[in-house]
Amino acid sequence: MPQTPPVITRMLECLKQQKQCYVNLLKVAKRQKKAIDEQNDQDLLKALQEKNPHLQTLQALDEEMQSALQSLSETDRTLMIEKGKALKDQVAQALAELIAVEDACAKILKDKKEDTFEQMKVFQEHQKGLKGYGDSGGKPSRFSREG
């Protein structure tokens, strides 16, 4: 059996690293969701910050793989597809799980944002209603003892 070209070996290693990054991001995303559910802003910020190094690594791996892919011959591409299929499927599965958790987090945050907006609208309406009863600039009410 012919030896695997070094570029394909490196691309397979990049796929393994991608998979590990997505697994790590999934762990962080689950902590992020827990922080959102528990309304723990500190843990949420911490989780968001922990994502950055993984995302940067994924970007670097993607750039490296795109460059390597362009240098492959048609025979090497076929070999890469054959050797990388199982790993590619694992990467896709990890990414799908990550997307599901991220979508759940986004929905929770969107719902909380809408609830907060509604509460603000109600509060503003109450403020408008109270203006007629409060101090409006220094003139005491005709019905107060100060006037």
82 in any annotated domain: yes
pLDDT in tens, 117-137: 888 888 888 777 777 665 555
118 in any annotated domain: no
127 in any annotated domain: no
147 in any annotated domain: no
Note the maximum CA span of the chain: 103
pLDDT band at 63 (very low <50, low <70, confident <90, very high): very high
Number of domains in the chain: 1
Three-class secondary structure of residue 83 per DSSP: helix
136 in any annotated domain: no
133 in any annotated domain: no
| Residue 15 and residue 84 in contact, taking contact as beta carbons nearer than 8 Å | yes
Distance CA 13, CA 61 (A): 10
Least confident of 3-12, 43-52, 115-124: 115-124
Cα–Cα nearest to 94, from 27, 36, 3: 27
**Mean pLDDT calculated for residue range 78-90:** 92
pLDDT in tens, 89-114: 999 999 999 999 999 999 998 988 88
134 in any annotated domain: no
pLDDT band at 142 (very low <50, low <70, confident <90, very high): low
Q: Which domain holds residue 13?
A: 6-101
Of residues 34 and 120, the one with the higher pLDDT is 34
53 in any annotated domain: yes
